[in-house]
């Protein structure tokens, strides 16, 4: 049964298109397209992710600063959840199944610092609670009823869910080079798949350049294949080359209802991104700091989550093994 498009979804008003230059139309697994286009080269995969986020940021900035800009994309569902007085007793009817990567403590601390900085420019920004932060490795489906979700989970079966949630224990993708990405609905901290930066070619201990050949995009591809092999349909909202954690969403126009305010917002984002590049982007081997990168699966394996989870909620079906 196709997913129900529910009214009031902010994301339904947002366009998610692949800006990396890769056409996924001919592929049963959309993640194979980019890997093939990049000849399985981690450096080229990273470059495509960077092209996507840089191009999208440029598009969104131009749109939000345009004289034709008519207002931010506010989320009416989140507004009702944050302020129960709008519609007492309201519950989000959109149920989903996802596999989330949970950020380790040092990434949560980074997000916390960024959130506080953003509040200085947009005090009414809704912040994703730190304990709910997540990176969507694979979305199976969204916007269905609870009985429909339970039926899909039953079809997947415990063995498939276990294999997927434990997958990062032995296949460890590395993320690096964080910056803020944004659009008219939200702001996120986005990463790039690592490509051997500051790693030795070989080492009896520790990570090597060869380990980085398994990128975050390979992880997404493999999870897609495992889920598909269980016989379920995969209906992700988007499969664009992006690895991001939602940091905050807009609930009011007031912080950005004048061009000067919007310009101040982008000045703050530029300030934060400049700091991130100076402090968190690897430049030489002596500077490499594992606290400034993210090995997916650090601390926790993947979190198979179901329910009303658009804002980090829902229930855990199974949490995989961390390392």
Whose structure tokens read 């954690």?
245
CA atoms lying within 13 Å on the CB side of residue 232: 25
Three-state secondary structure string covering the chain: CCCCCCCCCCHHHCCCCCCCCCCCCCCCCHHHHHHHHCCCCHHHHHHHHHHHHHHHHHHHHHHHHCCCCCCCCCCHHHHHHHCCCCCCCCCCCCEEEEEEECCCHHHHHHHHHHHHHHHCCCCCCEECCHHHCCEEEEEEEEEECHHHHHHHHHHHHHHHHHHHHCHHHHCCCEEEEEEEEECCCEEEEEEEECCCCCCCCCCCCCCCHHHHHCCHHHHHHHHHHHHHHCCCCCCCCCCCCCEEEEEEECCCCHHHCCHHHHHHHHHHHHHHHHHHHHHHCCCCHHHCCHHHCEECCCCCCCEEEEECCCCCCCEEEEECCCC
Domain ranges of the chain: 33-319
Residue 316 has pLDDT above 90, yes or no: yes
CA dist., res. 194 & res. 214, Å (int)? 9
What is the pLDDT at residue 11? 57
Backbone angles phi, psi at 310, to 5 degrees: -60, -25
- 138 beta partners: 99
On the question of pLDDT at 278 being above 50, the answer is: yes
Contact 102, 300 (CB under 8 A): yes
Summarize the confidence of residues 142-166 as an average pLDDT: 97
Q: Is the pLDDT of residue 8 over 80?
A: no
User: Quick one: pLDDT at residue 2?
Assistant: 41
Indicate the range of 11-15, 32-36, 245-249 predicted with least confidence: 11-15
What pLDDT sits at residue 19?
73
Instruction: Determine the CATH number of domain 33-319.
Output: 3.90.1140.10
pTM: 0.92
Q: Does pLDDT of 3 surpass 60? A: no
pLDDT band at 1 (very low <50, low <70, confident <90, very high): very low
Where is pLDDT greater, at 285 or 291?
291
Q: Give the pLDDT band (50/70/90) at residue 10.
A: low
Q: 45-54, 147-156, 230-239: lowest mean pLDDT where?
A: 230-239
Please report which confidence band the pLDDT of residue 23 belongs to, taking 50, 70 and 90 as the band edges: confident
Q: What is the pLDDT of residue 16?
A: 61
Of 65-69, 120-124, 149-153, 203-207, which gets the smallest average pLDDT?
Answer: 203-207
Q: What percent of the chain has pLDDT over 70?
A: 94
Q: What is the pLDDT of residues 55-107, one digit of tens each?
A: 999 999 999 999 999 999 999 999 999 999 999 999 999 999 999 999 999 99
């Amino acid at each position: 049964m196709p997913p129900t498009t529910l009214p009031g979804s902010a994301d339904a008003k947002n366009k998610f298109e692949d800006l990396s230059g890769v056409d996924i139309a001919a592929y049963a697994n959309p993640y194979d397209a980019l890997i093939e286009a990049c000849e399985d080269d981690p450096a080229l995969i990273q470059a495509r992710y960077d092209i996507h986020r840089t191009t999208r940021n440029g598009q969104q900035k131009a749109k939000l600063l345009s004289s034709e800009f008519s207002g931010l994309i506010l989320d009416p569902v989140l507004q009702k959840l944050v302020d129960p007085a709008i519609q007492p007793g309201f519950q989000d009817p959109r149920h989903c199944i996802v596999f989330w990567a949970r950020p380790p403590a040092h990434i949560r601390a980074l997000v916390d610092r960024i959130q506080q900085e953003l509040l200085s420019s947009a005090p009414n920004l809704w912040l994703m609670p730190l304990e709910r932060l997540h990176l969507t490795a694979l979305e199976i489906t969204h916007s269905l009823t609870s009985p429909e979700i339970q039926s899909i989970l039953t079809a997947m079966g415990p063995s498939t869910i276990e294999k997927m949630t434990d997958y990062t224990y032995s296949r460890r993708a590395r993320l690096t080079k964080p910056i803020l990405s944004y659009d008219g609905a939200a702001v996120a901290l986005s990463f790039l798949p690592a490509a051997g930066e500051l790693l030795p070619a070989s080492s009896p201990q520790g990570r090597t350049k060869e380990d980085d050949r398994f990128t975050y995009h390979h992880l997404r591809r493999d999870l897609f294949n495992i889920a598909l092999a269980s016989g379920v349909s995969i209906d992700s909202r988007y499969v664009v080359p992006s690895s991001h954690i939602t940091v905050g969403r807009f609930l009011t126009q007031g912080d950005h209802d004048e061009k000067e305010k919007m310009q101040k917002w982008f000045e703050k984002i530029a300030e934060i991104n400049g700091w991130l590049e100076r402090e968190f982007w690897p430049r030489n081997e002596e500077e490499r700091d594992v606290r400034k990168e993210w090995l997916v699966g650090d601390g926790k394996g993947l979190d198979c989550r179901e329910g009303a989870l658009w804002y980090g909620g829902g229930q855990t079906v199974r949490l995989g093994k961390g390392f």
